[in-house]
Structure 1
Amino acid sequence: MDEDMSEEMSEEQSALKQELTCPVCQSIFRDPVLLPCTHSFCRECLQRSLQINKKCPLCRKLFEEGQDIANRALSSACETFLKQTNWRPKPVSEDMCKLHLKPLELYCEKDEEPVCVDCVTLHSTHRLWSLKDGAPICKKELGFKVQIFEKKVDSYKKMTHKLSNAVEFIKYQAGQAEKQIKAEFERLREALIKQEAQRLKELADEEDQKISSLLEMIAKTNKDIITLKELIETVKKEMGNEDLPLVRNFQNIKRQAQWTSEDPCLSNGCLLDTGKHVGSLGYKIWKKMQDDVKFYPVVLNPNAASPWLSLSADLTSVKESEERLTQPDNPERFDPCVFVLGAEGYYFGKHRWDVFVGDNPKWIVGVCTESVARKKKFTVSTSRGVWALCLSKGVLTASTPERTELQVEQRPERIRIKLNLEKGEVSFWDGGTAKHLVTLTHKFDDKVFPIFGPGLQATPMTLAPGKIAVHTS
């Protein structure tokens, strides 16, 4: 009797479970919602279905989003059933369709995902393959990505090599700069030592001269003391005579007792002129150092120099390199064009510098914008961001798009460039005769750099030092 009741209860539970099972996920309803067509689904199952189309998963009737309502009665029944039976849903296998709970046996080429046979209606316009035929399609596309990544790996390896070379080049740069710094400090140190020796000699000379003068005065005074003592003795001796001889000889004695020499005293300037030696000493040393210090309004940027150019250690001259230099291909370096920029760029202000071009048959000097092309050949022109004076084949021209030829009586060997960014002017002058050659105008919005193209010549193009003026108040 009890066994029959148990079987009857089991059948009832099974029937109830069927009523409480979501037709999509085949599990007990979770947060069930009711559609206008009276079919119920788990809220999450319905939302997944809505991503495909807005039809009821059972009767395929259309419905608008938001028409579904919470089925509280069904939700309560599900909770009661779960409490009474302790039933736990079986986890859905990854190889099963989460919408239809059937094996994933097909591949949708458009959506790039596996589907079951019941999903065919949802992908009616898509091309479907069996998993056996779909897997090679995926492998082929992934193979292309592998090839791309393999090429990228090779590229990254090459870049790693370039970066390592850059590290070694930085070490080389630091070594060269250290040598230059030490050499310059040593040169200045020698100049200071020379100045120190000269000033100490001047001090010693004045000390010797002043002391010698005083010693001469002391010697003369000592002689005068002896003479005075002798005179005193003579007068005292005469004063010891009888009255008549003393009076008779008085005039003669008085004449002998005359002293015409000046009394000894310290004269003006007899002491050391200490102020001359130590007054404002630091300033005097610094002022004197102007003879040993050169100021350059512009120096060259070795990181922008073409590999075919060789720069001097102090970055003030440039010429052709006998062979292509091994340097990192950093973004700011000119290659293949044979140019080098100034180390400092300008946004505003007035600037002026002179360049010795000598008798080189080909050169370019002027200014350019920071965005000027670095990794490709280009024609030097104001339309390409370069305002320059050019010499080629004996003809001096300004870098306007029409190549303005300049008539000069004598080819200049020193070019003076004046840049006035407030007025938007860059003018060129013959630095030797101070004759104006040409002025180019432009509203400069980009950063502007001095540019130098010495041509492939063994004779260097050299920057001229500027004037140093000391103002005191």
Structure 2
Amino acid sequence: MKLKVGVNDSRAALETSLSVSLQRNFQLNPAGFSQQQQQNLCQTLSVDMSAAASCLLTEDQFLCSICLDVFTDPVSTRCGHNFCKTCITEHWDKHVTYQCPNCKEVFDSRPQLRVNTFISEMAAQFRQSAQKRVSSSEQQVSKPGEVPCDVCTGTKLKALKSCLVCLESYCETHLQPHLTKSGLKRHQLINPVEDLEDRMCPKHDILLELFCQTDQTCVCMLCTISDHKTHDVVPLKEEYEGKKAELGETEAEIQQMIQKRRLKIEEMKHSVALSKEAAHRETADGVQVFTALKESVERSQAELIDTIKEKQRKTEKQAEGFIKELEQEISELKKRSTEVEQLSQSEDHLHLLQSCSSLNAAPPTKDWTEVSIHPPSYEGTVRRAVSQLEETLSQQMKKLFAEADLKRAHKSAVDLTLDPDTANPKLILSDDGKQVSCGYVWKKLPDNPERFDYCPGVLGKQSLSSGSFYYEVQVKGKPDWDLGVARESINRKGLVTMSPQNGYWTIWLRNENEYDACVGPLVRLSLKSRPEKVGVFVDYEEGLVSFYDVDAAALIYSFTGCCFTEKLYPYFSPCINNAAKNSAPLIISPVNHTE
């Protein structure tokens, strides 16, 4: 491909470049140029220092006439013509006569060739400059989808701006008049767009610069005095700004909708993560429960087999003892039989008679008539083992479920404090609101509606109207106490009857060992151990109130199927002091979050 490159360098730069190149070549190779060669070189390059800035250097001036490509290692003949060293060498290798391919001058002998470093450097600079300008030009050429310059002839360059007055698009070069000339500076320039003709009124062939709000269409000045005479017409810019503001609001609404949906996605992902966590936790609890049950079954099976084997071993041992004793007697009897037989065969009268007297005493033997081996009875062994297993499994399942429930309850633990405005005047509350006991003195306190005036009770400050909560209370050393939850509207004056119908879901201890659930008629609770710390768990939506022996990880009692419609408050009653026998406080304990 041939390249034509305009020399846009400044005059000073070009003069300096040529001067430096000439000096370097004359210094390095003063004999390399004849006067004729220098004149030819100047003529080839068309170097005119007074007009260097506007000089055009074409590729033809740097082409080898043999290969028709830019010089590579150029050499000069005595006649002043230049060729690639390889080209002229190969040319003379093929021809007997040594002559110049251009002017046909014949040389007596094959000339000695040396590379013309000046032309070599100029050719290299030309090649580099041409490549840069080709690359720059290619970057500016309009590509598919881009707006081309309307002024460019031949190759269309990419437009940088479009003029709404001229209705044309301009590249960087052709845009300059609009940036420099005063008359053109007033024209409205926009980012390049195609089909500028669409901005002209098809009826009047002038610029559409107004907007008819009645018909919602763009119009020109002449349209306002004809078809749109009575319509509401505003400048295009004004309507543009209004629509742009509306689009901004729409965009904000869309972004808000996008944000809401992203938040919903995050919410759903969080729900899935919670579900996954709950599934893993439930699976782990299930594996633990079934593993424990499986171990219990295997242990009960092993005990059953051991019981049966033990009975069999006792029977075998008894039989072995009897058999050994019988074999002993048989051995003695055989021995006597042998003696009798030998004596009976004796023919010595005197010897037989004398020996018979010693045989009269029978050997010591046992009467085996009533002796027998009775096989052990296995009837009911399996049934009893299964019944025992059922009881064991039931207890173990209750314990395992209680432990699992307590683990879940721990996640709903709340930091409770007692509300002094609800406390009976005899109650003594600690400064941190974590302990309550019953004193002897009736304190002078405001008789506000929230305060218990007869029942020695107090409520917690924190309430529950949805979800769940859990707290633990130390009851160690107290023979009497009440614990549970109460709804907000309970009666706090006079005698209080604890029951769900009256808004109380509680259990209590009386006389050190009488545990009851206050269901209405009391339900006596049978506990294997005396709790020292009681956990209270409430699930509002499930209608559940459960009480646990925290240390034993055992369920004490559950109110189920409750219907809560009001706020629920923790309820505490240390009961009366009873002459210091019940002076120990109820203590709200921190929950130990263990897995």
* TM-score category (smaller protein): 0.3 to 0.5
Q: TM-score, normalization: structure 1?
A: 0.41
Task: Flag the structure with larger Rg.
Answer: 2
